Amino acid sequence: MKVTVKLFASLRKDRFAVDDFDYQEGVTVGHILASLNISEEEAAIIFINARHGGPDSPLKEGDLLAIFPPVGGG
């Protein structure tokens, strides 16, 4: 199934900004983090279709996964 993955800020270094991937049914955010060599600590903020998720969150066909390192401002 197809999932779009977006990376931001320092996570883009040596990786990518946005890409589509084919995953097997039942894939979780944690699996995708491991495949991209991103630690759970680095992936501080995770959105699936604009809603907060975590490493255990499951994904389904067509989902948009956005991953941010710890960031702040204001």
Partner 1 sequence: MDKILRIDMGAEGGPKMQVESLGEYAGLGGRAMTSSVVAKEVPPFCHPLGGENKLVIAPGLLSGTGAAMSGRLSVGCKSPLTGGIKEANSGGQPAQVLARLGYGAIILEGKPQGDDLYKVFINKDGVKIEADNSLKMMTNYDLVSKMKGEYGDKIACISIGPAGEMKMQSASIACTDPEQRPSRHAGRGGTGAVMGAKGVKVIVLDDTGCKARPPKDLQKFRAANKIFVEGLSRHPVTGQALPAYGTNVLTNILNEAGAYPTCNFKVGQFAGAGKISGETIAELETKRGAGPTHACHRGCVIRCSGIYNDKDGNFLSKQPEYETVWAHGGHCGIDDPDAIAMLDFLDDTYGLDTIETGVAIGVAMQAGVVSYGDAQAAINLVKEIGKGTPLGRILGSGAAVTGKVFGVEKVPVVKGQAMPAYDPRAVQGIGVTYATSPMGADHTAGYSIATNILKSGGFVDPLKPEGQVALSRNLQVATAAIDSTGMCLFIAFAILDQPDTFQSLLDLLNSFYGLELTADSVSDLGKKVLRIERDFNSRAGFTKEDDRLPRFFYTDPVLPHNVTFMVKDEELDSLFDW
Question: Which of 3, 14, 19 shows the shortest CA–CA distance to 61?
Answer: 3
Residues 4-43 that bind partner 1 (CB under 8 A): 6, 8-10, 12, 17
C-beta closer to partner 1: residue 27 or 48 = 48
- Nearest distance from C-beta of residue 17 to partner 1, angstroms: 8
Say how many residues touch partner 1, by CB under 8 A.
Answer: 21
From the list 19-27, 29-37, 44-52, 55-63, the region that binds partner 1 by CB under 8 A is 44-52
Q: Which helix (H) or strand (E) holds 31?
A: helix 29-35
* Cβ atoms within 10 Å, residue 68: 17
Query: What is the pairing mode between strands 51-52 and 64-68?
Result: unpaired
